[in-house]
């Protein structure tokens, strides 16, 4: 059985977004980081 590890990097200064925390900006009803974690979980979970 293979062990696969994933890492989601969500950050940055977001200068073009007015300094908002990019990982916490919402798309639909969820933060962007949550969408990324869902996709990551589907790949490595």
Per-residue model confidence (pLDDT) at position 11 = 76
Q: Would you write out the chain's pLDDT as a tens digit for each of its 45 residues? A: 788 888 888 877 778 888 888 888 899 999 989 999 999 988 886
Buried b (16+ CB within 10 A) or exposed e, 13-34: eeeeeeeeebbeeeeeeebbbb
How many residues can be counted in the chain? 45
- 10 is written with which tokens? 């969500």
Structure tokens at 12: 């940055």
SS3 25: coil
């Amino acid at each position: 059985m293979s062990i696969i590890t994933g890492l989601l990097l969500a950050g940055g200064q977001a200068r073009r977004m007015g300094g908002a925390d990019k990982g916490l900006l919402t798309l639909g009803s969820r933060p962007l980081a949550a969408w990324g974690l869902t996709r990551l979980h589907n790949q490595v979970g």
